[in-house]
Amino acid sequence: MDKTGRSTPSFGSSTISGLTNQDSGGICLDKEGDMNPRRVHELMQKHFPPVNAASRAWKNIVEHEELQQNELLCLLDDFICAEQVLVEVHRKLGDYLSKKEAVAFVAMHVGEGEIRIADREFHGFVVIAHNGVASGWSGAASMQIRAVGQTTE
């Protein structure tokens, strides 16, 4: 609850009303400073490259119906340099979070949709498929494809 007695929104539950456009790179934030899920969806639609699943190297990050949080954090660190990331589960569920918060957010929603994660500048990308496998890549052209631990030549 905040100072006024209202319950504060949790991950991705920001409302569309009361938006302010704070000077943070054009990111649309609500009154509490959280990214609006609608804005996350718009940014992902516009800037997240096609996944092209058949050409990706995938890593299983869900075992026994539970997200392997350390595996996801390593994947994020490998491909996304920024500490804050955009996370989208579907068009009504997304947020702008720290990597650690993003891992907790993904753990709550894994399997609900194809989860896409990117830095605000869209230089690094991670995608988690419905079945719990994940892939990451980086670069403006989005052509580098490698799994955790592999190197590009």
Q: What is the pLDDT of residues 14-50, one digit of tens each?
A: 332 333 333 344 444 444 455 789 999 999 999 999 9
The pLDDT tens digits for 75-109 are 999 999 999 999 999 999 999 999 999 999 999 99
CB atoms within 10 A of CB 32: 11
Closest to 75 measured CA to CA, from 85, 62, 61, 88: 61
Assess contact for 37 and 95: CB atoms under 8 A: yes
pLDDT of 138 strictly over 60: yes
Closest to 16 measured CA to CA, from 29, 1, 5, 3: 29
Assess contact for 93 and 109: CB atoms under 8 A: yes
Which one-letter DSSP state was computed for residue 31? T
